């Protein structure tokens, strides 16, 4: 096979998007020279599962995405622990921290994001001892080490990651408080009513929440953190004591290299449907460092879809492939908190043209909401009880017409439920694994080709290898197919 790009493909960033792209490209094209720079020293790992590592549910060595021997076996020049420091677009070369200058025919930027640290007094010289962000495996290791001796933790930021971190730390026996600037938790994914229920759920798990909490600085003693300073609404300050502080204040796309190289950057590197920089056709950008149709995604499913589209284009195996945008579905991965959210969740009863179906049982930590427009699901929240999450995800993803009876959207087993969770009734086109975009039909095909366990299906299709929340659905489908097989044979 002749190489798709004889001048070679250089990938900057070996995280979730970059490593998947390298894998997708090699599976289509064995010949093109590929070099990948990864600033993190270890082999790529499943960043999504860091929350499980922090919670002590998963071992760090179990989240690796690439075997040690893979790069050599596939002829990929992997520079682990080496940072790309400059792009020379005129010469088409990448300069790196190891002093090398590497030529490229195509440059793929996959530099992801870095954790945002708000400018605050006390942080001028970096984070004091006992304060950490939560983005990398190294961050996770440091937080875990600090948690061994800490007693009181404060998590600054009540978004998805902040809550996952807080839950992980309570699981390790710490007293945890979440400080959140907005009026309700996870305000991007939840409406205020769901946010309120979530506060109760966290309280039941021993996690305190302070809303509208304007953090003004960190208190330290002898270089170690002792507390977090808050501005009080009427003036004055209050200090929340802490010997461990996790800053979870959002992320910023890592676009320094691209900006310095003169590429068009909005919030991230601006690309077209072929993931091509609008400034330079030799440069592509995927994952959290790319901005497509004004959208910068913060989830892995779009990053992995972009990786596959770009690999198909560069290898020439799918010249018509295009990335046209992705729907955003969020699931919280924290023990004792069931939460799924998708689409536009903020509409209320007063909004014209939408229909809102809602159920609240705050005492039991349950809140369910479906937002419907023109007979189609445009948003949903399931908190506390998520057994219709798969059904709602499919309806939302495919913009399918809904049945007249709405209750089945929120409660499993109600007769009018359009597609029960049961693998039997799930159509082949239904997406089972959102992260990897794997349908029930693909799982069935994999089973038919000989995969007889959920692990074998995961290896064959990648289903359940992202956030892992579809694992039980995959197991259910495999069990059902096995059962069908037995019945057929009998």
Ligand X SMILES: Cc1cc2nc3c(=O)[nH]c(=O)nc-3n(C[C@H](O)[C@H](O)[C@H](O)COP(=O)(O)OP(=O)(O)OC[C@H]3O[C@@H](n4cnc5c(N)ncnc54)[C@H](O)[C@@H]3O)c2cc1C
Instruction: CB nearer to ligand X: give 48 or 198.
Output: 48
Among 32, 111, 345, 388, binds ligand X (CB under 6 A): 111
Q: Does 338 bind ligand X (CB under 6 A)?
A: no
- In the complex with ligand X, which residue's Cβ is closer, 257 or 481? 257
Determine the angle formed by the axes of helices 440-448 and 454-461, rounding to 10 degrees: 110
Read off the tokens for 393.
């995800």
**Which CB atom, from 15 or from 476, has the smaller least distance to ligand X?**
15
With b for 16 or more beta-carbon neighbours within 10 A and e for fewer, the 48-65 pattern comes to: bbbbbbbbeebeeeebeb
The enclosing H or E element of 257 equals: helix 256-260
Question: What is the SS3 assignment for 148?
Answer: helix
Dist CA 333 CA 161 (whole Å) = 9
Q: Please, which of residues 129-188 interact with ligand X by CB under 6 A?
A: 134-135, 161
- Which CB sits closer to ligand X, 46 or 219? 46
The whole-angstrom separation of Cα 306 and Cα 128 is 38
The interface region with ligand X, picked from 23-31, 111-119, 313-321, 403-411 by CB under 6 A, is 111-119
Residue 485, both tokens: 């097989």
Closer to ligand X by CB, 16 or 197: give it.
16
Min. distance of Cβ 487 from ligand X in angstroms?
37
User: Closest Cα to residue 345, out of 191, 194, 196, 195?
Assistant: 191
- Note whether 431 and 470 are within 8 A (CB): no
Subset of 446-485 contacting ligand X (CB under 6 A): 467
Binds ligand X by CB under 6 A, chosen from 15, 157, 195, 476: 15
For residue 27, give both structure tokens.
């599976």
Judged by CB under 6 A, the chain residues 388 through 427 that form the site for ligand X are none
Spell out, one character per residue from 226 to 255, where the chain touches ligand X: x when CB under 6 A holds, - when not: ----------------------------x-
In the chain, what is the straight-line distance between the N-terminal and C-terminal CA atoms, in Å? 47
Q: How far is the CB of 483 from ligand X (least distance, A)?
A: 31
Regarding 113 and contact with ligand X (CB under 6 A), the answer is yes
Class of residue 279 by CB neighbours under 10 A (exposed 0-12, middle 13-18, buried 19+): middle
- By CB under 6 A, the residues from 340 to 369 that bind ligand X are none
Chain centroid to CA 344: how far?
Answer: 18
Structure tokens at 259: 């900006």
Residue (110 or 451) nearer to ligand X, CB: 110
Binding mask 285-324 for ligand X (x = CB under 6 A): --xxx--------xxxx-x---------------------
Nearer to ligand X, 51 or 366 (CB): 51
Residue 283: strand, helix, or coil: strand
- To the nearest whole angstrom, how small is the minimum distance from the Cβ of residue 6 to ligand X? 24
* Cα gap 308→287, rounded to integer Å: 11
Q: Of 254 and 385, which CB lies nearer to ligand X in the complex structure?
A: 254
Decide whether 48 or 477 has the Cβ nearer to ligand X.
Answer: 48
Report the alpha-carbon distance of residue 243 to residue 132 in Å, rounded. 11
Is-contact 120 280, C-beta < 8 A?
A: no
| Nearest-approach distance from CB 333 to ligand X, in angstroms | 5
Residue 364 main-chain phi, psi, to 5 deg: -95, 5
The single residue among 4, 9, 18, 432 that binds ligand X, judged by CB under 6 A, is 18
In the structure encoding, which two tokens stand for residue 199, read together?
Answer: 């506060």
Query: C-beta of 135: minimal distance to ligand X in Å?
Result: 5
DSSP secondary structure, 294-351, as one string: TB---SHHHHHHHHHHHHHHHHTS-TT--------EEE--BTTB-EEEEE-----TTS
What whole-number distance in Å separates Cα of residue 303 and Cα of residue 312? 14
Which one, 227 or 390, has the nearer CB to ligand X? 390
77 binds ligand X (CB under 6 A): no
Q: How far is the CB of 257 from ligand X (least distance, A)?
A: 5
* Residue nearer to ligand X on the CB measure, 122 or 325: 325
Token output for 15: 């995280």
Least distance to ligand X from the beta carbon of 417, Å?
A: 26
**Binding residue for ligand X (CB under 6 A) from 110, 242, 370, 382?**
110
Size of the site for ligand X (CB under 6 A): 36
Per-residue interface string for the shown chain with ligand X, residues 21-60, x marking contact by CB under 6 A = ----------------xxxx------xx-xx---------
Q: Which of 112, 168, 365, 379 binds ligand X (CB under 6 A)?
A: 112
* Separation CA 262–CA 389 (nearest Å): 43
d(CA 4, CA 20): 18
- Point out which residues bind ligand X (CB under 6 A): 12-18, 37-40, 47-48, 50-51, 83-84, 110-113, 134-135, 161, 254, 257, 287-289, 298-301, 303, 333, 467
């Amino acid at each position: 096979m002749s190489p798709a790009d004889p001048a070679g493909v250089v990938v900057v960033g070996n995280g979730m998007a970059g490593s998947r792209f390298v894998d997708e490209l090699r599976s289509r094209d064995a010949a093109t020279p590929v070099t990948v720079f990864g600033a993190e020293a270890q082999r790529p790992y499943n960043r999504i599962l860091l929350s499980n590592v922090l919670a002590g549910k998963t071992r760090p060595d179990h989240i690796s995405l690439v075997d040690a021997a893979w790069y050599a076996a596939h002829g990929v020049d992997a520079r682990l622990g080496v940072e790309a420091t400059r792009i020379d677009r005129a010469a088409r070369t990448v300069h790196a921290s190891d002093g090398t200058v590497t030529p490229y025919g195509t440059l793929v930027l996959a530099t992801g994001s870095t954790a945002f640290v708000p400018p605050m007094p006390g942080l001028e010289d970096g984070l004091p001892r006992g304060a950490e962000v939560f983005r990398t495996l190294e961050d996770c290791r440091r937080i875990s080490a600090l948690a061994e001796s800490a007693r009181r933790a404060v998590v600054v930021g009540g978004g998805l990651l902040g809550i996952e971190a807080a839950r992980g730390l309570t699981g390790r026996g710490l007293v945890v408080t979440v400080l959140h600037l907005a009026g309700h938790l996870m305000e991007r994914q939840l409406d205020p009513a769901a946010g309120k229920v979530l506060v109760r759920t966290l309280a039941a798990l021993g996690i305190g929440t302070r809303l509208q909490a304007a953090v003004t600085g960190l208190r330290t003693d002898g270089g170690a953190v002792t507390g977090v300073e808050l501005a009080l609404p009427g003036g004055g300050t209050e200090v929340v004591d802490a010997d461990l502080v996790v800053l979870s204040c959002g992320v910023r796309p890592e676009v320094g290299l691209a900006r310095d190289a003169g590429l068009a950057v909005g919030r991230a590197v601006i690309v077209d449907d072929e993931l091509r920089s609008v400034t330079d056709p030799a440069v592509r950008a995927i994952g959290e460092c790319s901005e497509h149709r004004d959208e910068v995604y913060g989830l892995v499913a779009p990053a992995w879809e972009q990786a596959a589209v770009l690999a198909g284009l560069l290898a020439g195996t799918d010249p018509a492939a295009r990335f046209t945008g992705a729907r955003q579905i969020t699931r919280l991965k924290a023990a004792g908190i069931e939460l799924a959210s998708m689409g536009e969740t903020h509409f209320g009863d007063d909004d014209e043209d939408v229909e809102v179906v809602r159920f609240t049982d705050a005492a039991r930590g349950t809140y369910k909401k479906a937002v419907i427009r023109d007979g189609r699901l445009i948003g949903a929240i399931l908190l506390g009880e998520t057994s219709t999450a798969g059904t709602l995800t499919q309806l939302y993803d495919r913009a399918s017409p809904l049945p007249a009876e709405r209750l089945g959207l929120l409660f499993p087993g109600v007769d009018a439920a359009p597609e029960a969770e049961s693998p039997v009734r799930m159509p082949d086109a239904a997406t089972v694994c959102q992260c990897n975009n794997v349908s029930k039909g693909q799982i069935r095909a994999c089973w038919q080709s000989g995969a007889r366990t959920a692990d074998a299906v995961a290896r064959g299709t990648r289903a359940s290898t992202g956030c892992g929340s579809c694992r039980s659905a995959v197991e259910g489908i495999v069990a059902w197919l096995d059962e069908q097989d037995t019945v057929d044979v009998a």
